[in-house]
Amino acid sequence: MSSVALSKNKLPKDFLWGFATASFQIEGSLDADGRGKSIWDDFSRQPGKTLDGGNGDVATDSYNRWKEDIDLLVSYGVKSYRFSIAWSRIIPLGGRNDPVNESGIQFYSTIIDTLLAKGITPFVVCFERFGDRVKYWLTFNEPWCISILGYGRGVFAPGHSSDRNRSPIGDSATEPWIVGHSVILAHAYASKLYREQFKQAQGGQIGITLNGDWMMPYDDAPENIEAAQHALDVAIGWFADPIYLGHYPEYLGVMLGDRLPVFTPEELAVVKGSSEFYGMNTYTTNLCKAGGDDEFQGKVQYTFTRPDGTQLGTQAHCAWLQDYGPGFRDLLNYLWKRYGKAIYVTENGFAVKDETSKPIEEALSDHDRVHYFQGTTSALLAAVAEDGVDIRSYFAWKTLPEGLCALHLPVVQGQRREGRASRAARKGPLAALAARLVNAVKA
C-alpha cells in the first residue's frame, strides 16, 4: 500500500478495522472453569485430522493471556475486535435447557468490558447476556465450511463423509445440503428473535458471516466464464441468495435436483432479509475451468496457474491459498452489486509457507503476510473511493499468526506456543501496516 494511494483514498470516519479470531484456535484451557466438551476437542485429537497434528489443548493460550492479546490490539490502534464465544464454556452440557456456566459468562463479559474500556468495539456471537454492551452480532460463521467440510469432505468436526477411509458414517451426496439448509433456517429464526425481542432495547445489528473467494474465469472462453459463475453460486450464492434475494441460485437446483431442500413460503418469509449486512470472509482467488466433477466446487476445476503457466500469486502454507489483491476488489464489487448490503469484511489473512520451520528472525519479518495485506487493503481502499462500494469494516485474520492451516481450512496448530517476547515482536511489520490503515480513516 503506497503512501500516495493512502493520501488519495480515505475510509469513512466510522469504519471499523481490527482483527478476528476463533475461540478454539486461540483459547486453550479446554478443561478450565467448568468448560464442557465440543465436537472439535475429540476430532482434532484424531490422527491426520489437522495438518501438523496439533489440537486445541494450548493453542495460543489466550484464555490465560487475553490481557496481553488486548494490549497487542491496542498497540496496533485497532477500532474493533471480532471473536467467537465457545458455547462449551457457556452451556457445558450442550442442551437448550441445560444450566448456564456463570464462569464462562464472566470470562467473556470481562473481555468485552476491557475492550470497551480500551476504545475497541466488539463483534461477537450470543446476544442476550452481552447485548447491553455489544452492538454487532453474527449468528453463524462460515456455514459453507460447517456443511461441506463437516458433513461432506469430513475434514472438519464432526467429520462425516461418504469416504469410508475417512469416516464410518456420512452421506456426502445429501448431508451437506441438508445441513446448509438447516443453518440458513437457524440463522433466520435467531435473527428474527433478536429483532423482535432485543433490537429495540439494545440498539444492535445482526447478520451472518459467509465465506467465499473470488472466482475468475481461466480465460475468455464462454464455458469458463459460465464456470466461474457456477463456482460463485455454490461458494457464495448457496447461502447469500436465500438470505438476501429470497431463493436458491438456479444452478444449484439444476446441479442437485431433488437433493436440494425446499423452503416453505412461511420459512422463506423469515429467511429473506434476515441479515442486516453482508459479513464477508475471504482469502484468495481461484481461476475456474469448466468440466469438473466436484459438486462442492460447482462441478468446476480450480487452479492458480494462468494459461501462460505463471502463478496467480505467492503460495501460502495452505494449498488452497495464494495472494491476489485484484480479486479481493472484484469480489467486493460483485457482492455490493448483487446484494446491495453494506459489507463487513470479517476475515481476511494469509498463512506463510513453512513459517514454523523458519529461523525466528525470518519468520518475524513477515514479508509474505505484509505483502498480502498490502494488496487486500489497497484493493479495499480502491473499492470504497473509486467504485463506491459500501464497506464498513476490515478484520485481519488474526492477532497472532500461528496455526492457520488444517487439512483444508483454518484450524488450530495446537502445540506451538510463542514466548512472551516473541509474541510482542510479532507486531513489528504488521504494526506498520496497521498504522497506514489507521491513517486512511478520515479524521
pLDDT for res 53: 77
pTM above 0.85, yes or no: yes
- To the query of whether residue 27 is one of the catalytic residues in this protein, the response is no
Domain boundary among 287, 312, 337: 312
Q: What is the rounded CA–CA span in Å between residue 329 and residue 382? A: 8
Q: What is the structure's pLDDT at 10?
A: 78
pLDDT of residue 426: 52
Residue ranges of alpha helices (H) inside 272-408 are 325-339, 360-365, 367-385
The vertex-403 CA angle with 397 and 408, nearest 5°, equals 85
Res 418: pLDDT = 47
Give the chain's radius of gyration (CA, Å).
21
The answer to whether residue 20 is domain-embedded is yes
Nine-digit cell string for 188: 433466520
* 321 and 423 share one domain: yes
Instruction: Report CA torsion sign: 6, 7, 12, 15.
Output: positive
Q: What is the pLDDT of residue 326?
A: 98
What residues in the chain have per-residue pLDDT under 50? 1-7, 401-422, 424-425, 443
Question: Do 114 and 31 belong together in one domain?
Answer: yes
Cα 99 to chain centroid, rounded = 29
**pLDDT single digits (tens) 129-140:** 899 999 999 999
Q: Is residue 239 one of the residues assigned to a domain?
A: yes
| 94 and 163, same domain (yes or no) | no
pLDDT for 7: 44
- pLDDT one-digit tens code per residue, 262-284: 999 999 999 999 999 999 999 99
What is d(CA 385, CA 117) in angstroms, rounded to the nearest whole number?
32
Give me the domain span that covers residue 332: 1-134+317-443
Domain boundary among 312, 337, 356: 312
Q: Quick one: 301 and 188 in the same domain?
A: yes
In this structure, is residue 116 part of a structural domain? yes
Decide if 211 is inside a domain: no
Q: What is the DSSP pairing of strand 300-303 with strand 285-290?
A: antiparallel
Asked whether residue 322 falls in the same domain as residue 387, the answer is yes
Count of domains forming the chain: 2
One domain for residues 52 and 117 = yes
Please tell me whether residues 293 and 331 are part of one structural domain: no
**Residues 122, 160 within the same domain:** no
Of the residues 259, 290, 312, the one at which a domain ends? 312
Residue 233 sits in a domain whose CATH number is 3.20.20.80
346 Cβ neighbours under 8 A, 6+ residues apart = 20, 82, 123, 138, 141, 209, 279, 280, 281, 393, 395
Let me know if residue 388 belongs to a domain: yes
Residues 402 and 337 in one domain: yes
The reply to whether 227 falls in a domain is yes
Answer yes or no: do 141 and 274 share one domain: yes
Residues 36 and 51 reside in one and the same domain: yes
Residue 109 located in a structural domain: yes
What is the structure's pLDDT at 120?
97
Run of H or E residues at 303? strand 300-303
C-alpha cell at position 340: 446491495
| 147/296 same-domain check | yes
The reported pLDDT for the residue numbered 427 is 55
239 — alpha (psi -120 to 50), left (phi > 0) or beta?
alpha
Catalytic residue among 142, 276, 347, 402: 347
Residue 170 lies inside a defined structural domain of this protein: yes
Question: Which residues, other chains included, contact 345 with Cβ-Cβ below 8 Å and sequence gap of 6+?
Answer: 280, 282, 332, 380, 391, 393, 394, 395
